[in-house]
Chain A
Amino acid sequence: EAGVTQFPSHSVIEKGQTVTLRCDPISGHDNLYWYRRVMGKEIKFLLHFVKESKQDESGMPNNRFLAERTGGTYSTLKVQPAELEDSGVYFCASSSSRHTQYFGPGTRLTVL
C-alpha cells in the first residue's frame, strides 16, 4: 500500500510569488490534514478535510493560504503571495476511520 505522497519535496521561491503544494493521501482515507513546522517550533495544525469538505480550518494563518481537495482525493495548498514567515516544512497526513494519522515526507518551502 502506497503511503502519503507530497510534491514537490523542496520549493524555493521569492517573496510575493505563488506556490502550490500537493498531497496524495493513502487510497481510501477520507481524512486529510495539513500541518506546518517552522524552524525551531513544533508541528502545527493547519486544516482538516473530510472527503472534499473542510472540517476544521482553524489553523490556517491567514487568507493568503488556500486549501482545496478536489473530489475528495488529492489536496492542494496554495500560498499567494508568499511571505518570508511562510518558510518551513509542510506536512500532509491522512487517516481512515481508525483515527491514526499517517504522515507524508513533507514539502520544504523556502521563501527568499
Chain B
Amino acid sequence: QKEVEQNSGPLSVPEGAIASLNCTYSDRGSQSFFWYRQYSGKSPELIMFIYSNGDKEDGRFTAQLNKASQYVSLLIRDSQPSDSATYLCAVGSGGNEKLTFGTGTRLTIIP
C-alpha cells in the first residue's frame, strides 16, 4: 500500500464547474497536509495547507481534512483553463520534517 494515494487521472472538468481532488494517507501520525500544483516542466507550487480537521478556504480553493478517515481533499470552484495542471498531495509529520507525496492527479479544465 502506498503511503499517500491519489487517483492519477486524468480528471476532466468543464470550465466553471467544481473540480474535486482526493487523497488518502496511511500514517495516522501525520500532522500537516499540503496541496501543490505543478505545471508541466515547472516546480511544484504550494496552493493550500491544512493542519486541523475541517475545511479551509482560500479564494476559489477549499482544502478538507478528515483525520479519522485519513482523507484530504481539494475543491476548486469556478474552474478555469489555467487550473489545468497536476495536483500533488503531500503529507508531513509536523514541524520541518520531510514530506511524503502522492503521484499526483492530472486535472484538465475543458473550455
Contact = CB atoms under 8 A, between A and B. Distances in A.
Interface of A: 4, 31, 33, 35, 41-45, 48, 50, 55-56, 58-59, 91, 95, 97, 99-106
27 contacts: A31-B96, A33-B98, A33-B99, A35-B99, A35-B101, A42-B2, A42-B4, A42-B101, A42-B103, A43-B44, A43-B88, A43-B90, A43-B101, A45-B98, A48-B96, A48-B98, A91-B44, A97-B96, A99-B92, A99-B95, A100-B34, A101-B46, A102-B46, A103-B36, A103-B43, A105-B42, A106-B43
Contacts of A97: 96
Interface residues of B, number: 25
Given A41-B103, A42-B4, A43-B88, A100 B46 contact: yes
Interface of B: 2, 4, 32, 34, 36, 42-46, 49, 88, 90, 92, 94-104
Nearest to A4: B43
Nearest to A98: B96
A90 to B, nearest CB: 12
A50 B96 contact: yes
A19 to B, nearest CB: 20
Contact of B43 (A44, A95, A104): A104
A59 B95 contact: no
B97 to A, nearest CB: 7
